[in-house]
Each structure stands twice: as C-alpha cells, then as structure tokens.
Amino acid sequence: MLVPAGLLMAAGPGSTEKDIPTSPTPRVSISNVAGKVVVKGWDRLRIHVAYTIVSPNTAVDTEQVPPQGAADKVRFLTYTTDRTEPVPNPTVDYVLQVPTGASLEIQNPQGSVQTDSVRGDISVESLGGNVSIVDSAGHLSIRSVAGNIEVIRPAGRVEASSINGNLHFVNSTSQRLRGNTTSGTILYEGDFVPGGSYVLSDYSGNITILCPPSASFELDAKTVRGKLDNQFPMVPRGPKSFLPPGNSIFGTQGGGKATLEVTSFSGTIHIRQQ
C-alpha cells in the first residue's frame, strides 16, 4: 500500500527533507550504521527522503548519477564528521518514498529495515536489526546475523539468511524461496505456487509450515536429531535406499506441484494445515 504524501514524517530538528527526480527504476542505496530505515514505494517519479540525524558528529552524504536531471542511481551514506573522535554507532533514521519500480541496496548493521511496495530487486544487510519486507516483486536478498527477518507477500525470488534471528514468510507467490537460520525459527505461512521451489533450513530452531489443506507439494523433510510432525496425508515416495540417518519424510501431497525441502539438525519440523 502506498503512503500518501501527507503522512510523511515532518522534518524536525536535525531533520532534512529532499526531493530527487528519478527515472522509473532508479537504483537506490542506503549505507547506514544504526537507526531505522523505512522505504515505501509510490507512483511518483522522484525520491522523497527525510532523514533525522540522531548521534552527534554524524552527517549524511547524498550522491546521484547523473548529477542533473532524472537520477538513475542515488546513494545515501551515513558518516562520522570528526575523524579524531569517531562515533561508535552513527545513528540516522531514514524515511524514503521511492518509485515503485526502484531497486534497493540497504546496509544498516545496527538498525532495522522496513520496505513496502517496492517492486525492484531488494538487497538488505543487517547485523542486529530486524528486517521487514512487504509486497516486493523483485529478487530479495536479505542477510542478518541476529536480526529477525519477515517477508510478506513476496512475488519474486527470495533468499533470506540469519544466524540467530527468526524467519517469517507470509503468503508468498514467489517461484523460488530460500530461508536459512542457525538458531532461529522459521515460520512459513501460506500456499505454494505450482512449479515453485522452497528450501527452508535451520539448525536448532523449529520450522513450522502452515499451509492450506489444498496445498500441492512434494516434500523432502529431514532432521538429524529433531522430530517431524506432519498433519498432511501424503503419498510416500522416494527411493528405498539412501535414507539419511535421523527422521525424514519424503512424500507427495495434493499432486506435488511445488517442491519443498525442509531441513533441521535438531529442531522440530511441523507441517500443519491452516
């Protein structure tokens, strides 16, 4: 859903607002350290940015290519102004509105990232902050160490990876979705697209799949030490030899139109009907 201009955060003290005309599909990059980054798609051919500098000795540099006219590339960079006493976590809060066709590259190690209705490719790198991507259509690539990752209604390819964070996927229409976490949990809610390929993997957390009774998928689920809890009446398939040690289910459900690979080392894998 696009945010009407009127709801945009007004620039307060320490806040700056800018408008940058762009092409319909600009590449926008934000290199921040801490603070919030919020990006929403709209139907105008310009970027409207409002940023608030929170930490001292911190500034934002804006670059665009080409320098005049409608920009194809725009970059926002957070940096420390005092080299003698660098700020440990330069903190800036960004709120941007970008053309829906924009692609995004966002680095925000200590802060959170949210995007909504941006339909180009999106790449997000975070350390500790949570990431939330809503209504994307392009290739999504999200990496975090501790942050939770939430992806709602993606239509393009998805690759999401965290070490300690949880992954949450809702109502994906993506043809190809990959999610990986080490100690976090994975929750996948929604149906599977015919011909789609889904790979969900974690180490010790639980993986829960909640899909409609009419879902159609071929399942490869395996764990080394964990348990498997499956509510679907699958048709078993798979070769009789080469069963890996641990618990596994290889089955076809409802025609097997999508492929679903779910792996956990010691977590429990739940496959349940919505």
Partner 1 sequence: MSRQKQAASSVATETQLIARAQRGDEEAFAALFEAHKRRVYSLCLRMIGNPTEAEDLTQEAFLQLFRKISTFRGESAFSTWLHRLAVNVVLMHLRKKGLNQISLDETENSQGEPIKRDYGDEDRRLVGSIDRIGLNRAIAELPPGYRTVFILHDVEGYEHNEIAEIMNCSIGNSKSQLHKARLKLREWFKEHQGEQPKRSPAHAANESKESE
Partner 2 sequence: MREERQESNRKFGCQEFDANLAAYLEGEENSDLRSHAEECSACGILLDDIEAIRSAARELPLESPSPRVWSNIRATLAQEGYIREQESFWQRWAGRITFGPRMAPVAALAFALTLAIVLLFHGDIQQNVNPAPALPSVAERATPVSLSDVQTNLIRTVQGMEENYKAREASLDPSAKQVYAAGLASLDSSIRECMESLRNQPENMLAREYLMRAYAQKAEVLASALEYGGR
What token pair was written down for 65? 């290519």
Binds partner 1 (CB under 8 A): choice among 9, 45, 65, 235: 235
What does the alpha-carbon distance between residue 267 and residue 247 come to, in Å, rounded to a whole number? 11
**164 binding partner 2? (CB under 8 A):** yes
Residues found in the chain: 274
Residue 168, beta-bridge partner list: 150, 187
**Residue carrying the six token digits 């992954």:** 167
Residue 124, beta-bridge partner list: 106, 142
Binds partner 2 (CB under 8 A): choice among 62, 155, 159, 189: 159
In the region spanning residues 200 to 259, those forming contacts with partner 2, defined by CB under 8 A, are 201, 203-204, 218, 220, 222, 224-225, 237-239, 241-242, 244-246, 250, 259
How many other C-beta atoms are found inside a 10 Å radius of the C-beta of residue 122? 28
- 137 to 156: interface string for partner 1, x by CB under 8 A: --------------------
Binds partner 1 (CB under 8 A): choice among 254, 258, 270, 271: 254
* Side-chain half-sphere exposure of 177, counting CA atoms within 13 A: 37
CB nearer to partner 2: give 15 or 141.
141
The interface region with partner 2, picked from 5-13, 58-66, 94-102, 261-269 by CB under 8 A, is 261-269
What does the alpha-carbon distance between residue 241 and residue 95 come to, in Å, rounded to a whole number? 55
State how far Cα 213 lies from the chain centre: 27
The interface region with partner 2, picked from 48-56, 60-68, 150-158, 179-187 by CB under 8 A, is 179-187
Contact assessment for residue 92 and residue 32, using Cβ atoms and an 8 Å cutoff = yes
**204 binding partner 1? (CB under 8 A):** no
Residue 222 binding target from partner 1, partner 2, none, CB below 5 to 8 Å by type:
partner 2
Binds partner 2 (CB under 8 A): choice among 125, 189, 191, 229: 125
